[in-house]
Amino acid sequence: MSKLLRLSESEQEAARLKAIEINKLLIKRGLPPLKDSELLHKILELSISYAKLSPEGVLFLDVCDAETAISCSKVGV
């Protein structure tokens, strides 16, 4: 697998905006901010195990917690 991931302009902008949002919260809590690349690595690390493929061939993130059923959300691509 390639070690290089190219992001579209819209993906770069979405990542930048998310980094600003999260870094503001981190700073508010007295924690150091994350670099954009660190944030993307963490998001990938946290979400990769939730990636699934529907029978129709639609890629989605299945983040339902079957044990507690506190939150259930499926985000499709």
Q: What is the pLDDT of residues 29-53, one digit of tens each?
A: 999 999 988 999 999 999 998 899 9
Domain ranges of the chain: 9-76
Sheet with 51-53: list strands edge to edge: 51-53, 59-62, 74-76
pLDDT of residue 25: 97
Phi, psi for 35 (deg, rounded to 5): -70, 155
Rounded mean pLDDT of 58-74? 67
* pLDDT tier for residue 27 given thresholds of 50, 70 and 90: very high
Q: What is the C-alpha to C-alpha distance for residues 74 and 63, in angstroms, rounded to an integer?
A: 6
Q: Which residue has the tokens 């508010």?
A: 28
* Distance from chain centroid for Cα 53: 17
Nearest to 36 by CA among 26, 54, 50, 23: 23
Q: Round the average pLDDT of the chain to a whole number and report it.
A: 85
